[in-house]
Amino acid sequence: MKPAVLARKVGQALLAPLIAVVVAVLVTSVVVVVAGASVSEFWDVMTQPPSSRNMVNIVNQSSMIFLAALAAAIGFRMNLFNIGIEGQYTLASFTAAVVAGMAWFPGKLNILVAVVVAMVVGALWAGIAGVLKVTRGVSEVISTIMLNAIAGTLVGYLLSNHGQQYGQGRRTTPIPESSQLAGWTPFAEKDGAIWTLVLLAVLAGVGISFLINRTRFGFDLRATGMNEPAAVASGVNVKRMVVISMLLSGAIAGLIWMPALFGGADYYGPPFQRTLGFTGIAVALLGRNRPLGIFFGAVLFAWLNEQANPLALVADISPSVVQITQGVVVLAVVIAYEVVRRWAAAAEQRALRKALDEQPTAEGVAA
Amino acid sequence: MTTVSQEKAGPAVSGGGIEVRGVTKRFPGVVANHDVNITIRPATVHALIGENGAGKSTLMKILYGVQKPDEGTIAVDGQQVSFASPTDAIKVGIGMVFQHFMLADNLTVLENVTLGGESLFGIGDQARAEINRISDAFGFDLDPDTLVEDLGVGERQRVEILKVLYRGARIIILDEPTAVLVPQEVDSLFANLRELRASGHTILFISHKLDEVLAIADDITVMRRGTTVGEADPKTATKRQLAELMVGSELPSPETGESTVTDTVLLELAGVNVVDEGGRHLLKDVSLTIHKGEVLGVAGVEGNGQSELVETIMGMLRGTGEITLAGTSMGSWHTRERREAGIGFIPGDRHLHGLLLDAPLWENRMLGHQTLPPASKGGLIDRRNAKADTERIIAEYDVRTPGINNTARSLSGGNQQKLIVGREMSGEPILLIAAHPTRGVDVGAQAAIWDHIRRARREGLGVLLISADLDELIGLSDRIEVILRGELVAEFDPRTVTPQDLGAAMTGGKESA
Amino acid sequence: MSSVMSVTAARREEAAQKRTRMYYLIGLVALVSVALVRVLTGAHEIDSQGSLRAAIVATCPILLAALGGLWSERSGVVNIGLEGQILLGTWGAAFFTYYYGPYIGLLGAVLFGMAGGLIHALATVTFGVDHIVSGVALNVIALGLTTFLAEAFFADLDSKFGHGGAQQLTGLQKPFTITIPGVSDFTSDLAAKHWFLVSDVAAFIAAVTTSVSIVTVVVFVLVAVTGWVLWRTRFGLRLRSCGENPYAAESLGVNVRFYKYVAVLISGGLAGLGGGYLALVSSPGFHTNQANGRGYIGLAAMIFGNWRPGGVLLGSGMFGYTDSLRLRDPATIHAMLLLVGAWLIAFAAYKLWRRQTRSGIVLGVFGLFFLVWFLTTDEVPVDLTSMTPYLVTLLVLAFASQRLRMPAADGQVYRKGSVG
C-alpha cells in the first residue's frame, strides 16, 4: 500500500509538468511554422548537446534565475505576490556595486560587506511594500509594481548624475581586483568560469528549504498561505509574518546579481542583466514554489535562453521564440496543476470511501 | 411581521405538485442521493427532515436546478421536467430560499431582487413599485434602495423571500429557514407560510427540528443516508417515531449531570467594549466570569456579537476593558500567548478558522499548538512526535481516516470536528472556548463531542459554550448568558429555563426570567 | 411605513446632491489654484494647449487599460494580464494597419487584445487558476510573442504603408483627426494671452477642439458607455453581481461563467484598443514592448478610481498628465511643486478641521516638504519627474485604501454548482 501511494503521489507531481512541456512544445512549434521556419531545424538547435561554453553559461544563468525564483516563492508560499523582485534586485545590485567599488574594506571582506548591503537594500525596498500592506492595507501587487518603476528611475538618475563615464554610457566604479573572484574553470580557459558565488544560490536554496519545511516559522508561513484566518486563530501574527517574509524575499532578491558582479561583471552599468525578477516569478510558478521544482525550472529557462542564441544563424528564427515557450510552459503548468489537483482530490476521496467502507463501524451510524 | 389578509397577498396561484421518482446523484466517490421518492401535494407545506448529511441539500439543489440528477425523474404538475440551471426551475415556478443567504452585500435590495428576473419589471421604477407592493402586502418593511450590507438577519431573510415572490413562484423551497431565527421570529415566519399556503403556494420546508416540523407541516418525508426512508402524518406522528426514522435509533440528548462548579475564577471579562470602524459597538460593556469546572453557555441570535466575543477572548480582535485568565491580566497578550497559557479553541467555522484543508492531518494537529511540544522543539518542527500524537488523537477521538497523511479536506465534517476537539483537548487546556461545537456534524459525532465537553468540565476546565442549538445550551451549561446586539442582557439557570424564555431574551422581549 | 421609506429616499437624494455640489467645488478650487500658480510662477506650460493635448494623448491608453480592468474586476476577475493584452494590441494594430488601413488596424488591435483576454478567461474561469498567476504568465507570453512576431513579420516590410525593422514598424497610416474650425482658433488665441482663469479655460477648450484623433473621442465615449452599461442595464447588473456574489447570481439563474467570459473578453478588447492607440495615435508606429508598464499603471488608476468609471477617468488623467510632463521644460515641473504643495496643505487643513489629526499632520508635512523644495530649488531633474506618478499612486493608496471598496468576490476562484 505505502509504496503504491508514494508512486501515485510522485506520478501526480510529475504529470502536470509533463503535460505543460508537451503543450509548450506544440505551441512553440505552431508559432515557428506560422513564422515560416522549419520546425525540425528549430528543435535540432534547441536539443543539441550544449558546448562546454554553453554549459558554463547555463550554470551561471541558472544560479541567478534560481535566486530570483526563490525570492518570489517565499512570498507566494504565503499568498504574497511580490511582483517587485525586479526593483529590489536592481536597487540592491546598484548599491552593492557602489559599495564594492568604494573598496572600504580589503579583499574578500569587501565582498562580504557588499553582499550584506545588497541583502539589506533588497529587504528594505521590499519591506516598504510589506509595511504599507499591514499598516495601510495597500495591495502588495500594486505597491511593488510602483516600487519597481521608482527603483528603475532612481537608479537611472543616480547613475547618470553620479556615475563614471564609460564609453557611451555610465557605470559605477569597478570593484578592485582583490575583490574579484576567479571562479572555477571546469573546461578550457576560453570556455569561461563558473562563478564562485553560484554557491550563494546553493546556500540560499538549502537554507530556505529548511526554513520553510522544518521550522516553526516555516509552518506559520505555510499555514498563513493555506488559510489566513485559521493561521490567525492559531496564534500567527500575520502582520508580522507579512513584513518578515517581504524582508526575507527582498533579501534573497538582493542576492540575485551578486554571482555576476563578483564573477566578472565588476561594475553596475549598461550590461546589467534586467528582467531577471520577472523571469524569477515565472520560474517560481513553474516550480510550484518548491526549491527543487524551482531548481529544475531555472535550469530549463537557462537552457532555453542559452540554446536559442544560435537560432538566428542556423535556422533563421529569432531567439525571442523561447520567450513564448517559457510563457506557455508557465501558464500550461499552472493549469495542468489545477486539473491534476482536482483529479487527485477526487481520487483521494474515492480511496477514502473505499477504505472506510471496509472498516466495520462501531455503531450503525456512519460518517 | 404581522399576519396578512389574503387579498393583499395577491391573487391565488394554482398547481404546484411535485413528483420525485428514483432520483440518484453521485459525486466523485460519494453517492449523495440514492433512489429518492417524494410526492408533494399542491398547496401544502411539505416537510423534508433528516439529520445533517442525509442528502437533503443535494435533493434540494437538484429540485432547484443547481445540480443535475444522474438518474430518476422529476415532474411538476404531472409534466416531466429537466433543469439545466436555476433559470429552468424558476420558469416552472420553483423558488428557493437558501440557508446561507444568497445576497450581494454591495448591491441594493432592488438590485438583489431584480437580478436574474429583469424581464419581469425591468430594473427601474416599475420594479421598485412591485417590490414596494410585495413588501407592503406582507409587512416586510424593506426599502428597495438600501444596500443589503446595512440590513439585519431577519431583514435579509425577508429579502430572500421577496426575491422568490417577485418571480411569482408557486413552489417555494426553504432550506432550514429557522436556523438563524429565534422562536418568536419562527412563529411569524410560520404565519407567513400558512398565509402563502392559503393563497395556493406549495412549500417544501427542510429542517431537522422536529417540533417545528410537527407544528407547520401537512406531510412529512424522512431522509436518511441519501435516500427517502419513510413518510409520516404530522397529526399522528410523535417526535420519537420521527427521530427513529431519521437516525435509525433514538436521538441522543445532552445532559450534564451533577454540578462540578468551583469557586475559583478562571476567566473574567470586565467592561469589555469592541467598536467597529463605523463607531458601532460590536461588544458593549461585556462582563462575565467562568469558574473552574463550569460551562457557561451563551445564547443569542447569530450576528449579535458571539463571534466578536470569542475573537476578543482569543486575542484575534482588540477591544477595551479588562480580561483576566486565572488572575493574570491578558489584555496585552497576543493570540499565541493566550493559547500557550492554556486556552483551547473550537472555532465556530472550522473550515475558516480551524483547519488547513489541503494539509495532512498531522500538520493540522500542530495548528494552534505549533509552539509547544509535541509539535515543535526549540523553533524546529518535531515531525516524529507530532505524527505520533496525531495517531493518538485519531485513536482516542475515533477520527475515521485511513491515515495521518491524508488531507483534512478528505474527512467528513464530523471527523474534522473530532480531530479539532482532540487537538484542543491535547494541549492540557485550562479553558475551552467551544463555538457551535456540533454544527454540521452527524449524530454519532455529536454525542461524542458532548461527552468530551462533559469530561472537560469534570476535569475542572472552564468552558465557554456558544451555540445556536438551544437544547444543546440548556443541556450542557451550568449557567446561560444571553447576548443581544453585543450586550449581555440576561442570565438564566438552565435547570429552569425554557427555550421560549431564552427566545424572548434573545430578541429583547424580556430582560430576565 | 411608506412615509419612513420616502424619508430615507429623500435623505439619500439630498446626500447625492451635496456630493455633486462638493465635486463642483473641488473642481473649481483646482481650476483656480492652477490658474493662480500659473500666473504667479509664469510657468504657462502648466496648462497650455500643448500640455493638455499631450496629457490627453498620454491618458488615453492608460484609461483604456483601466476601463478594461474595471470591466474584468466588476465581474470578479483580476486582470493583471492587461499589460500583455496591450502588447498584443500594439502588434495587431501595426500588422492590420499596414495591410488594411488604420480602421481595420484598430479592429485588429481589439481582436488581438481579446485573444489575450480569452486565454486569461480560459485559465481563470474554466480552469480556476489564480488570477494573478495567470495574468503574469500571460504577460510573459505576450511579450515573447509580439517580439517574435515583430521580427518574423515586420523586419522586411518597407513601402509607403510603413517602414519595418526587427523591433519596429513606423510610418503607419493614422486614423483621422477632428478640428472644430472657429472654436479652435478663437480659443487658441485666447489661451495665448495668458489671462488669469480665462486662458486656462480657453486652453482646455482649444486642446479638445484642435486635431483630436477620432480614437480619442471614442475612448472618452467608452467611459460613459461603460458607466451606463454596467450600472443602468440588466446586462451590467448581472455582470456586477458576478463580482459581488457569484453564487447568489448563480442561484437566480445567471450564467456566471458566461458573464465572466464576456467581461474578460471586453477587458482584453479595451486593453487591445489601448495598444492600438499607442501604435497609431500616440507614437509614430509600433515598437516592441511598447506598453512599457501601462497595463500595470491602468490597474493602479482603476484602484485609485475605486472601481468606478468617474474615478478611473480621474486616476488615468493624473497618470497621463504626469507622464506627459516629462516632455515639458523643467520650469513647469518646478511650478508643479508649488501646486502639489498647496493642494496637500489645503487637504491637510481639511483633515484637521475634520479632527483627523494624524493624517492631517502627515499630509501637512508632505505639503511643507513640497513647498520647501519649491522655494529652495530652481528645477527638478527629469528622472525624478517620471517617478512622480508612481510615488503619487503609492501615497494615494497609503492614504485612501481603507476607503476603497473593491467588488466583494474580486479575485476569487468561482466553481459552478457549489451554491448553498
Give the model confidence (pLDDT) of A77-116 as tens digits. Answer: 988 888 899 999 999 999 999 999 888 888 889 999 999 9
Q: Which of A227, A350, A367 faces B29 most closely, judged by CB atoms?
A: A350
The mean pLDDT of B295-311, rounded to a whole number, is 87
- Helices first, then strands: H and E counts in chain A: 15, 2
Q: Which residues of C fall within a CB distance of 8 Å from B99?
A: 420
* 3-class SS of residue B11: coil
pLDDT at A167: 81
pLDDT at B510: 46
Cα distance from C33 to chain B (closest Cα, Å)? 34
Long-range contacts of A199-202 (CB under 8 A, 24+ apart): A200/A63, A200/A67, A200/A115, A200/A255, A200/A258, A200/A259, A201/A62, A201/A63, A201/A64, A201/A66, A201/A67, A201/A70, A201/A255, A201/A259
Q: What is the pLDDT of residues A308-362, one digit of tens each?
A: 888 888 878 888 888 888 889 889 988 988 888 888 777 776 776 666 555 443 3
The mean pLDDT of C231-260, rounded to a whole number, is 91
Is there a contact between A278 and A90 (Cβ–Cβ < 8 Å)?
no
Which residue(s) pair with B269 in the sheet? B288, B323
Is there a contact between B315 and B497 (Cβ–Cβ < 8 Å)?
no
Q: Which residues of C fall within a CB distance of 8 Å from B102?
A: 245, 247-248, 251-252, 419-420
Cα distance from C166 to chain A (closest Cα, Å)? 9
Burial (0-12, 13-18, 19+ Cβ within 10 Å), C162:
buried
Determine which of B6-20, C41-55, C334-348 has the lowest per-residue pLDDT on average: B6-20
State whether C9 and B145 contact (CB < 8 Å).
Answer: yes
User: How many other CB atoms are found less than 10 A from the CB of residue B495?
Assistant: 10
Domains of chain A, earliest start first: 36-317 (1.10.3470)
State whether A230 and B445 contact (CB < 8 Å).
Answer: no
Please give the Cα distance from B492 to B4 (Å, whole number). 35
Q: What is the pLDDT of residues B103-130, one digit of tens each?
A: 988 899 999 999 988 888 888 888 999 8
Residues 73-132 (A) with a CB less than 8 A from some CB of C: 81, 83, 132
Q: What is the pLDDT of residues A128-147, one digit of tens each?
A: 999 999 988 888 888 998 89
* 3-class SS of residue A101: helix
Q: What is the pLDDT of residues A17-48, one digit of tens each?
A: 888 889 999 999 998 888 888 888 888 888 88
Q: What is the pLDDT of residues C209-231, one digit of tens each?
A: 888 999 999 999 999 999 999 99
Is there a contact between C87 and C235 (Cβ–Cβ < 8 Å)?
no
- Cβ contacts below 8 Å, chain A against chain C, sum to 138
pLDDT at B249: 55
Q: Which residues of A fall within a CB distance of 8 Å from C82?
A: none
Given a cut of 90, is residue C380 above it in pLDDT? no
pLDDT at B4: 37
Please give the Cα distance from B287 to B313 (Å, whole number). 12
pLDDT at B498: 80
State whether C255 and B85 contact (CB < 8 Å).
Answer: yes
Cα distance from C183 to chain A (closest Cα, Å)? 40
The mean pLDDT of C240-267, rounded to a whole number, is 92
State whether A146 and C119 contact (CB < 8 Å).
Answer: no
Q: Which residues of B fall within a CB distance of 8 Å from C249?
A: 104, 115-116
DSSP 8-state symbol, C281: I
pLDDT at B278: 66
Q: Which residues of B fall within a CB distance of 8 Å from C241?
A: 104, 107, 111, 115
**CA torsion angle A274 A280 A283 A284 (round to 10):** -170
* Extended beta strands in B41-78, E state: 45-49, 71-76
DSSP 8-state symbol, C210: S
Neighbours of chain A (3+ CB pairs under 8 A): B, C
The mean pLDDT of C259-264, rounded to a whole number, is 97
C375 vs B: CB within 8 A? no
Q: Which of C80, C137, C386 faces A331 most closely, judged by CB atoms?
A: C137
The mean pLDDT of C76-94, rounded to a whole number, is 96
Interface test with B, best of C8, C11, C245 (most B CBs within 10 A): C245
Determine which of B213-227, B493-507, C366-380 has the lowest per-residue pLDDT on average: B493-507
Cα distance from A154 to chain C (closest Cα, Å)? 7
- What is the rounded end-to-end Cα distance, in angstroms, of chain C? 33
* 3-class SS of residue B73: strand
Q: Which of C130, C147, C397 faces A142 most closely, judged by CB atoms?
A: C397
Q: What is the pLDDT of residues C298-333, one digit of tens each?
A: 998 898 888 999 999 998 998 888 888 777 777 788
The model's confidence at residue B11, banded by pLDDT at 50, 70 and 90, is very low
Instruction: Please tell me the pTM assigned to this model.
Output: 0.84
Please give the Cα distance from B128 to B146 (Å, whole number). 12
User: How many other CB atoms are found less than 10 A from the CB of residue A36?
Assistant: 10
State whether C141 and A161 contact (CB < 8 Å).
Answer: no
pLDDT at A164: 84
The complex's ipTM works out to: 0.84
Instruction: For strands B30-40 and B18-27, give the pairing.
Output: antiparallel
How many CA within 13 A on the CB side of residue A357?
A: 9
Cα distance from A352 to chain B (closest Cα, Å)? 7
Please give the Cα distance from B364 to B353 (Å, whole number). 12
The model's confidence at residue B512, banded by pLDDT at 50, 70 and 90, is very low
pLDDT at A355: 62
The residue in chain B having the minimum alpha-carbon distance to the alpha carbon of residue C242 is B104
Cα distance from C194 to chain A (closest Cα, Å)? 34
pLDDT at B332: 86
Q: What is the pLDDT of residues B185-195, one digit of tens each?
A: 788 788 888 88
pLDDT at C48: 87
The model's confidence at residue C195, banded by pLDDT at 50, 70 and 90, is confident
